[in-house]
Amino acid sequence: MKNRKNLLFISYYFPPLGGGGVQRILKFVKYLDKEKYNIHILTVDARYIKYTKDPSLYKDIPNEISVHHVSIPDMNWLFAILGKLHLGFISRILKNFLFLPDEKIVFFLFSRSLLRKIIMKNQIDTVILSLPPFGLYKFAPYIKRKYKIPIITDIRDLWTDNFSMIYEHFPVFKFIRETKYEKRLIENSDFIITATEYIKNTLMKKYKINNIETITNGYDPDDFIDYAKGRKTNKNKLCFAYIGSLYGHQNPENLFKAIKRFKNDKFTFDLYGFVEKGILSRLLSDIKSVRHYGYVPHSSLLRIYEKSDILLLYIGGYDKKKRGILTGKLFEYLYTRKPILFIGPTDGEAAGIIRKCNAGFIVEDNVDSIYKTIIDIHKRWENGKLKMKFNNKEITKYNRELLTRHLERIIDKV
């Protein structure tokens, strides 16, 4: 259509795939001005992907946009088979020498033919590339060289400066090669968007760039249309809820030691999301107040928010890299106007936002501090003094629609 810019978003994660990584691009395309832009999405065919599915997210995809799917082999199936055959060493060899920087690079390899058709047929003006997975970095130099199209790269997590590079003991040669790939990505991006100020500052310092801005994640008011702020299904117990994944490197041992020490029947702690088996067996086996429900669709979160008194945001440890972690669920937590219990770096970005919004309790990741805070929260709850005076003006800044206006200004500038 005349006078409209033709945009192509390239994102591995898109509905019906679920999880936190899907929300960012999904909400961008939902709120972009359809009078200004024709929008195309290049993503994987989810039928063959070994990953959480959430069909409820389809409701947010506007009718006006075109979604193009690429069928690819999911290497996770191969890795799972090798694991069952006790051939995990072959998986490590493949990951370290063939699938660099990760196995999602097959998405790029299988999509070039469809990519050409989309670009040529629709006269794409700008490409927005979303990472991770970082295997998608290959799109940037390829599109820049072959099609000469401006590229905006949206970086949701740090790559070579990510704490996983430390905790997972990456081989030195792999780290060196991925640093080269990261540099190539930066050099071939006309503009870079980051999900946190910490990521932005890290990349600015490392690569001496200024074509970079932060657009945080946020909340979508449409997701809360049926949300009843005052509803509480169980008023006889103080209910804590954690929504999201818990992996071994997060090491939530201090949290559960504090819960175990807190001997009170009027207390429940509910976990919703993927939790590594090792964590469940090691930490939760003898704590009756903790219940694990597994992954729940995004559409089911409203009832969880309604019945909960305290929403937990956990970023364990003191490693300096963790100061920049800013999980997407924080912003939905803010919208619920339920108090947040934040456990993690008290000088980090997430803690700073919670302070500005006057949205909860901020505590260091050690057993005594967590235990004392849980006691304080429980006393407030018993005395009917758990409500907080939220800074609503500050919380409003994280509305997804307002954040998308920021993206539009960047697109128009590029």
Residue 91 has pLDDT above 90, yes or no: no
Exposure letters 179-203 (e unless 16+ CB within 10 A, then b): eebbeebbebbbbbbbbbebbbebb
Q: What is the pLDDT of residues 200-242, one digit of tens each?
A: 999 999 999 999 999 999 999 999 887 776 566 567 889 999 9
Domain residue limits at 150:
5-218+399-413
Residue 318 has pLDDT above 50, yes or no: no
What stretches of 160-266 adopt beta strand conformation (E)? 191-194, 212-214, 238-243
Instruction: Give the pLDDT of residue 265.
Output: 75
Confidence of residue 163 (pLDDT cuts 50, 70, 90): low
Mean pLDDT of 115-139: 96
Domain CATH for 370: 3.40.50.2000
Place of tokens 């003898």: 286
Percent of the chain with pLDDT over 70: 90
Q: For residues 6 and 127, is the Cβ–Cβ distance under 8 A? A: no
Query: Helix H segments across 188-328?
Result: 197-207, 253-261, 277-283, 301-307
In one letter, which amino acid is 68? H
Q: How many domains would you assign to the chain?
A: 2
Instruction: Give the pLDDT of residue 234.
Output: 61
Q: Are residues 86 and 204 in the same domain?
A: yes
Q: What is the pLDDT of residues 367-411, one digit of tens each?
A: 999 999 999 999 999 998 888 999 999 999 999 999 999 999 999
Q: What is the pLDDT of residues 3-26, one digit of tens each?
A: 889 999 999 999 999 887 899 999
Most confident of the following: 78-92, 97-111, 293-307? 97-111
Q: Are residues 195 and 240 in the same domain?
A: no
Q: Are residues 409 and 381 in the same domain?
A: no
- Higher pLDDT, residue 349 or 256: 349
Instruction: Give the pLDDT of residue 374.
Output: 93
How many CA atoms within 13 Å lie on the side-chain side of 261? 16
Q: Are residues 119 and 196 in the same domain?
A: yes
Neighbour count for residue 285 (Cβ, 10 Å): 8
Confidence of residue 165 (pLDDT cuts 50, 70, 90): low
pTM over 0.85: yes
Q: Are residues 266 and 205 in the same domain?
A: no
Q: Are residues 213 and 300 in the same domain?
A: no
C-alpha 127 chain-centroid distance: 21
Phi-psi region of 294 (alpha: psi -120 to 50; beta: other; left: phi over 0): left
Neighbour count for residue 237 (Cβ, 10 Å): 14
Q: Taking Cα atoms as reference points, which of 122, 73, 106, 335 lies closest to residue 217?
A: 335
Instruction: Give the pLDDT of residue 23.
Output: 92
